[in-house]
């Protein structure tokens, strides 16, 4: 036994430990690879080509790149910087920003964990195909009817459909799922996949830092081989032209391509799942967070854009045409590509290669999703009593048992409905809450002390209310009317807020401070995000490292949040026609349960105390110190407070001076 332990310790030596006692990545490379692994998955090799095919042409990259630059990268910078600054997972990290944000961090952990529960059983489908790929090309079981074989693999039994009234206003009878048996093979491959995930997690980053060289580097190499083969197929150039050789400007005037591109970027990059913050917490506190975030996002976009050449080579080979055929994730991944592979010379080799690549990409995403929950538990005061291996083992076993639910005859439907509930409701709301909380309520005591509580809350209610009211009217009446009313609510609320605000005693920077009205606008509309940028820059952006740019916070607040609110509201019209399906209701309820956690954490911060160690709970209790960078001068924390300002904020000078402002 001692010999085995020595071998394991030699192969997976203990991680480097920082002065604060937290484990650290051995170098920057495994951290970046692990973060890329969370992003790189089925969405790169299957979903991206499907979306591009349905919106063919190089014009796709206009909304796609805009979504990356204006949505994915800003949110990713926030998640990475928080993980590094607070040296902890999502819950403690967001608690450090403000006690009210603890629920946002917990919501992110729940999103990633819920996805892992149904995502890993999908790997069992891949492994069934992988097992059958070793047969001769003429014996592939999917040759005759790939669609029928796929539904046989996933063990699907059709339910009895729900019945609705003629006008669709009421449900006459709910759908019934009569199939309750489970597939032994799916259970076996699901447990095998969980075992592989556990191997990647049980020793923490000491093993994760090494397995990423297999789970990331090998799929990249295999993808390069697949691209070479796909591009060399007969008529492959015809498919590649559909991808990169046409410009259909008229599609840019349609909402479909913008919604599809935003959805793909959001799905592919993986923001909001919690693992970026968890991984960044094992980074050096002074690692280049901004550069890392941009590198991860750019690498993910480059990988899926390159991998698409393999798929479009097959599209040209099969003669598929947009507008004639429409493909989705499953039809492309499990119907179209296996059929094309069967017609290639050396088909078994290419089939094995393709499904092995899919499996490795899925594994890299799976252990990233689960790691956010493990990090959260290990960071708690009660989780510290146990080793990382123990926590990882217990969570993996419990999760594996829960995931067997998706191996039943109704498991395929459950996978789709829970995925819809998480993706369309919980994930969108959590990231929207990230953007709004961090740029609207961060250090709000400073704003209240400067302009008064009525002005502050009037502006915030107008800002959030505009999104709620505008979207509600857009779906209930007209999108143009909704947009107009939304802007009107925001403009009126802003004007009222400006006129009822007190005159700030601390002047805003740059041109914002030249006029008293502009000064007030800056305090209610830009102070929180600007101060968060300054605080994070001071801690995680030192020396020659890339600094968080000045437009970062306004982008999160005034572009990302409104766009996400629009996407979030699409979930309800989609749910209504399917409300007679119990599994659809279940998926919708799971999504809203996570929304509930976020809201409860904001309203009752103490409800999340179980996930925050006692010694760190006060980090988010901000004292009044307007325009003071946290941690820069603890002995003079009120350097930004003007004479008499303490009384304006309802604080005594002593209370202001003795405030327990923590270094980030």
Q: What is the CATH number of the domain that holds 92?
A: 1.10.4160.10
The pLDDT value given to residue 408: 93
Which of 3-7, 366-370, 516-520 shows the lowest per-residue confidence on average (mean pLDDT)?
A: 3-7
Does residue 642 surpass a pLDDT of 70? Answer: no
For residue 61, pLDDT beyond 80: yes
> What pLDDT score was predicted for residue 586?
95
Residue 649 has pLDDT above 90, yes or no: no
Q: Is a pLDDT exceeding 60 seen at residue 145?
A: yes
pLDDT > 80? residue 227: yes
> Which 8-state DSSP code applies to residue 558?
I
Q: How confident is the model at residue 654 (pLDDT cuts 50, 70, 90)?
A: very low
Residue 585 is predicted with a pLDDT of: 95
- Whether residue 634 is contained in a domain is answered as no
The pLDDT confidence band at residue 115, using thresholds 50, 70 and 90, is very high
Q: Taking 80 as the threshold, does the pLDDT of residue 651 lie above it?
A: no
Please give the average per-residue pLDDT across 559-582, as a whole number: 90
- CA nearest 419: which of 337, 335, 329, 333? 329
In-domain check, residue 355: yes
For the cut 90, the answer to whether the pLDDT of residue 607 exceeds it is: yes
**659: pLDDT strictly greater than 50:** no
In a domain, 22, yes or no: no
Position 68 scores a pLDDT of 93
Contact 52, 265 (CB under 8 A): no
Most confident range (mean pLDDT) of 134-143, 164-173, 424-433 is 424-433
600 domain residue, yes or no: no
Counting beta carbons within 10 angstroms of the beta carbon of residue 232, is it exposed (0 to 12), middle (13 to 18) or buried (19 or more)? exposed
Question: Is the pLDDT reported for residue 217 higher than 90?
Answer: no
Structural domain for 378, as ranges: 30-160+180-405
Structure confidence at residue 645 as a pLDDT band (50, 70, 90): very low
Give the mean model confidence (pLDDT) for residues 528-547.
89
pLDDT of residue 531: 95
Q: Are the C-beta atoms of residues 431 and 561 closer than 8 Å to each other?
A: no
Q: Above 60 in pLDDT, residue 120?
A: yes
Q: Is residue 433, in this structure, part of any structural domain at all?
A: no
Residue 8 has pLDDT above 60, yes or no: no
What is the spatial distance between Cα 554 and Cα 296, in angstroms, rounded to a whole number?
Answer: 22
Q: Is residue 637 part of a domain?
A: no
Q: Which of 302-311, 332-341, 382-391, 422-431 is the least confident region? A: 332-341
Using the predicted structure, report yes or no on whether residue 532 has a pLDDT greater than 90.
yes
pLDDT bin (cut points 50, 70, 90) of residue 663 is: very low
Are residues 273 and 115 in contact, defined by beta-carbon separation less than 8 angstroms? yes
Say which residue the tokens 């010999």 belong to: 3
What's the mean pLDDT in 396-422? 93
User: Residue 182 pairs with which residues in a beta bridge?
Assistant: 408
The C-alpha angle with vertex 533 and arms to 30 and 94, in degrees rounded to 5, equals 65
CA–CA separation, 250 and 254 (whole Å):
7
pLDDT of residue 534: 93
Over 90: is that where the pLDDT of 99 sits? yes
Nearest to 284 by CA among 106, 108, 543, 76: 543
For residues 498 and 518, what is the distance between their CA atoms, to the nearest angstrom? 9
Classify residue 434: in a domain, yes or no: no
In a domain, 581, yes or no: no
Is residue 283's pLDDT more than 70? Answer: yes
Least confident of 12-21, 186-195, 519-528: 12-21
Average pLDDT, the chain: 86
Q: Is the pTM of this model over 0.85?
A: yes
Q: Greater confidence, 110 or 641?
A: 110
Total number of domains constituting the chain: 1
Question: Does position 18 have pLDDT exceeding 80, yes or no?
Answer: no
Share of the chain above pLDDT 70, in %: 90
The CB density around residue 574, as the number of other CB atoms within 10 Å, is: 12
Instruction: Reply yes or no on whether the pLDDT at 309 is more than 80.
Output: yes
- When pLDDT is cut at 50, 70 and 90, the band that residue 597 belongs to is very high
Mean pLDDT of 374-382: 92
């Amino acid at each position: 036994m001692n010999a085995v332990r020595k071998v394991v310790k030699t192969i997976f030596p203990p991680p480097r430990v920082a002065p604060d006692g937290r484990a650290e990545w051995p170098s920057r490379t495994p951290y970046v690879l692990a973060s890329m692994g969370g992003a790189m998955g089925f969405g790169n090799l299957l979903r991206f080509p499907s979306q591009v095919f349905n919106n063919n042409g190089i014009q796709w990259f206009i909304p796609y790149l805009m979504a990356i630059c204006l949505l994915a990268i800003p949110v990713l910078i926030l998640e990475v910087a928080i993980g590094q600054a607070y040296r902890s997972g999502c819950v403690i990290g967001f608690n450090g920003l403000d006690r009210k944000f603890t629920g946002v961090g917990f919501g992110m952990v729940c999103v990633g964990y819920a996805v892992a529960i149904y995502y890993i059983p999908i790997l069992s489908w891949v492994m069934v195909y992988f097992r059958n790929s070793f047969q001769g090309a003429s014996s592939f079981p999917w040759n005759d009817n790939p669609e029928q074989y796929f539904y046989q693999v996933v063990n699907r039994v059709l339910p009895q459909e729900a019945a609705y009234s003629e006008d669709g206003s009421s449900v006459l009878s709910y759908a019934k799922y009569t199939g309750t048996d489970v597939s032994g093979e799916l259970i076996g491959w699901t447990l095998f996949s969980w075992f592989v995930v556990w191997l990647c997690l049980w020793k923490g980053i000491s093993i994760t830092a090494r397995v990423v060289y297999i789970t990331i580097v090998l799929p990249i190499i295999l993808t390069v081989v697949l691209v070479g083969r796909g591009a060399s197929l007969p008529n492959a150039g015809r498919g590649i032209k559909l991808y990169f050789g046409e410009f259909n400007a008229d599609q840019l005037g349609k909402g479909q391509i913008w919604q599809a591109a935003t959805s793909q970027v959001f799905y592919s990059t993986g923001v909001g799942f919690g693992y970026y913050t968890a991984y960044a917490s094992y980074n050096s506190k002074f690692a280049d967070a901004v550069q890392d975030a941009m590198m991860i996002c750019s690498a993910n976009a480059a990988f899926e854009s390159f991998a698409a050449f393999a798929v479009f080579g097959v599209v040209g080979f099969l003669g598929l045409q947009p507008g004639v055929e429409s493909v989705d994730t499953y039809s492309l991944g499990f119907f179209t590509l296996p059929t094309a592979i069967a017609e290639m010379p050396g088909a078994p080799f290419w089939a094995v290669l393709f499904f092995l690549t899919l499996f490795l990409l899925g594994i890299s995403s799976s252990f990233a999703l689960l790691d956010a929950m493990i990090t959260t538990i290990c960071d708690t005061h009660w989780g510290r009593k146990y080793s990382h291996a123990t926590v990882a083992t217990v969570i993996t076993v419990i999760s594996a048992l829960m995931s067997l639910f998706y191996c039943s005859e109704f498991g395929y439907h459950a996978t789709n409905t829970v995925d819809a509930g998480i993706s369309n409701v919980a994930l969108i709301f959590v990231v929207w809450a990230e953007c709004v909380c961090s740029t609207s309520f961060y250090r709000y005591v400073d704003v209240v002390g400067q302009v008064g509580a009525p002005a502050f809350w009037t502006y915030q209610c107008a800002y959030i209310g505009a999104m709620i009211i505008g979207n509600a009217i857009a779906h209930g009446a007209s999108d143009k009317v909704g947009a107009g009313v939304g802007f009107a609510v925001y403009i009126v609320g802003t004007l009222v807020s400006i006129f009822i605000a007190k005159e700030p005693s601390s002047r805003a920077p740059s041109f914002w401070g030249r006029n008293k009205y502009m000064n007030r606008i800056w305090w209610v509309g830009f102070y929180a995000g600007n101060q968060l940028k300054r605080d994070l820059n001071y801690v995680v952006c030192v020396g020659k490292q890339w600094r968080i740019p000045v437009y970062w916070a306004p982008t999160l607040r005034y572009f990302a949040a409104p766009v996400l609110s629009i996407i979030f509201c699409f979930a309800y019209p989609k749910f209504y026609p399917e409300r007679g399906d119990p599994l659809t209701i279940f998926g919708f309820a799971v999504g809203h349960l996570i929304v509930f956690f976020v809201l409860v954490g904001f309203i009752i911060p103490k409800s999340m105390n179980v996930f925050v160690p006692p010694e760190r709970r006060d980090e988010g209790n901000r004292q009044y110190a307007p325009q003071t960078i946290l941690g820069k001068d603890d002995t003079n924390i009120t350097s930004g407070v003007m004479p008499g300002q303490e009384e304006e904020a309802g604080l005594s000078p002593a209370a202001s001076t003795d405030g327990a402002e923590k270094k980030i």
